Amino acid sequence: MNLAVFTSIAAAGFVVAFMHAILPTHWLPFVLVGREQKWSAGKTMGVTALAGLGHVAFTVLIGAVVVAAGLAVAPRLEHMFNWVVAGLLLAMGVWYLLRKSHEHPTAPRGFRSDRAAVIGLVLLLTLSPCGEFVAVYFSAIQHGWLGFGLLSLVLLSATALAMMLFTGLTLAGTRMINLDALQKRESLIIGWMLILMAGVVLIFQP
């Protein structure tokens, strides 16, 4: 494993996962439902963590399929494989630069029980995997399953940090002054991170 190349990919991947997880859809529904259900801060944070684990697990599952397929195809493409990976990353990066994010915070309402509220929130996030991070997995296919495992830890840490941080701060009544501006630049930041990874794959990987 080329440690310098992998470190660059992992760092870019952390930014991608963190930017994805700061969207209000990843923490605000838990605060709103927690208040409606009259949960303690501890329970709200616990449900947030559970949903975050489901979100990460589903993304990892998709990533495993992508890596397995990539490892199977890579020997056939030989020296062209890096060009294929870089081209796809570049295309995704440009797409993110051109698109505008329209994600809005939503929260299921009208739960009759805590169990229904927990299940609803967990499913809400679990069934919305971090598609951006799948591209990160794709960029590191040549690092094999060890790289996949390390990137999964990066995904988990970045997602947990963002979700728990913003849920906790919102519960504490802290006003996120610059968050709106950061969210508006989500696509821009992710797009440039994917383009950066395309360059790393094309220039530095053998």
Residue 71: its pLDDT value, please? Answer: 83
Residue 175: its pLDDT value, please? Answer: 53
Residue 176: its pLDDT value, please? Answer: 52
Residue 120: its pLDDT value, please? Answer: 85
Amino acid occupying residue 195: I
Per-residue tokens: 204: 């530095």
One pLDDT digit (tens) per residue for the chain, 206 residues: 677 778 888 998 899 899 888 888 888 889 888 888 888 999 999 999 999 999 999 999 999 998 898 888 777 766 676 677 777 777 877 877 787 555 555 555 556 678 888 888 888 888 888 888 888 888 878 788 998 999 999 999 999 999 999 999 888 875 554 555 656 666 777 777 777 777 776 676 55
Residue 33: its pLDDT value, please? Answer: 87
Q: Rounded to an integer, what distance in angstroms lies between the CA atom of residue 80 and that of residue 87?
A: 11
Which residue in the block uniquely carries the two structure tokens 């997995």?
Answer: 137
47 in helix, strand or coil?
A: helix
Say what the alpha-carbon torsion angle 174, 107, 188, 62 is, to the nearest 10 degrees: 120
Which residue in the block uniquely carries the two structure tokens 């979100």?
Answer: 55
Which residue in the block uniquely carries the two structure tokens 């930014």?
Answer: 15
Q: Rounded to an integer, what distance in angstroms lies between the CA atom of residue 188 and that of residue 186?
A: 5
pLDDT digits (tens, 9 = 90+) for 22-78: 888 888 889 888 888 888 999 999 999 999 999 999 999 999 998 898 888 777 766
Residue 195: its pLDDT value, please? Answer: 78
Strand ranges, E, within the chain: none
User: What HEC string does the chain produce?
Assistant: CCHHHHHHHHHHHHHHHHHHHCCHHHCHHHHHHHHHCCCCHHHHHHHHHHHHHHHHHHHHHHHHHHHHHHHHHHHHHHHHHHHHHHHHHHHHHHHHHHCCCCCCCCCCCCCCCHHHHHHHHHHHHHCCCCHHHHHHHHHCHHHHHHHHHHHHHHHHHHHHHHHHHHHHHHHCCCCCCCHHHHHHCHHHHHHHHHHHHHHHHHHHCC
Confidence (pTM): 0.77
Residue 5: its pLDDT value, please? Answer: 77
C-alpha 80 chain-centroid distance: 28
Angle 67-161-50 from CA coordinates, rounded to 5°: 75
Per-residue tokens: 1: 């494993």
Residue 154: its pLDDT value, please? Answer: 95
SS3 content of the chain, % helix, strand, coil (to 5): 80, 0, 20
